[in-house]
Structure 1
Amino acid sequence: MSTTPEHDGRMAKMTFATVYPHYVTKVERKGRTKAELHQVIHWLTGFDEKKQQELMDRKVTFETFFQEAKLNPNARQITGLICGYRVEEITNPLTQKVRYLDKLVDELAKGKKMEKILREG
């Protein structure tokens, strides 16, 4: 599934620091914790909580965020719809990675078990 160049450009230029509070609000509103959110981000990117905070302090774009990440090899197992796009069919690599993160946050907020979110079985 192709996204538009404008959409991909917006994804690249968004900063992790501006989106992160929305992730926190979304998961906490559904009874999940910030610690669980950090665990999900760590699983996908390899960034521990300290590194996540550093990236926010530096106000890095998602482009830089994912350039510095060590994407989990099981990230390809993330499938399904998010924001009207089928994650596994997104052709732009950066946009796909951002949508992987969105999908994981969505699954966390929907109450999915952590082992399922982290593709452990």
Structure 2
Amino acid sequence: MPKHHIFATSFAKVYPYYVQKAERKNRTKDEVDQIIYWLTGYDQAGLQHQIEQENDFETFFAQAPVIHPNSSLIKGVVCGVRVEEVEDPLMQKIRYLDKLIDELAKGKAMEKILR
């Protein structure tokens, strides 16, 4: 089965859309970054490096310092897909990130988003 095209998509190209989605709902870039730090273990320098290198999602998650152990607690539907039922580990991580950004844009408190 061929890889999904999102795996080869540059994280740097998608990142501004995460920020825009949050800002449209009066949330901040810092909150988006905080979610990414929590999920992936990146710090500010590591995230900036990933953006500058224009790494794809596959590399972005492969190089992540640590996926948060509570990420498996992320449940719900994003883009019509139940994240806890996604079988491909990389796709599931991408959906986790999408779900967290959705929760932020929907006004959920950071304490609830960062389980």
TM-score normalised by structure 1 residue count = 0.91
- Mapping 1:69-108, distance limit 5 Å: 69=64, 70-108=66-104
Structure 1 residue runs of 4 or more that deviate by more than 4 Å after TM superposition: none
Q: Write the deviation string for residues 70-104 of structure 1: whole angstroms up to 9, x where unpaired.
A: 10000000010001110000000100000000000
Q: Does 1:10 align with 2:5?
A: yes
How far apart, CA to CA, are the structure 2 residues paired with 1:16 and 1:68?
A: 12
Report the equivalent of 2:37: 42
Q: Give unpaired runs (5+ residues) of structure 2.
A: none
Aligned-residue sequence identity (percent) comes to 54
How far apart, CA to CA, are the structure 2 residues paired with 1:16 and 1:48?
A: 16
How far apart, CA to CA, are the structure 2 residues paired with 1:9 and 1:29?
A: 28
How far apart, CA to CA, are the structure 2 residues paired with 1:86 and 1:64?
A: 24
Deviation (angstroms), 1:11:
2.1
AA aligned to 2:6 is M
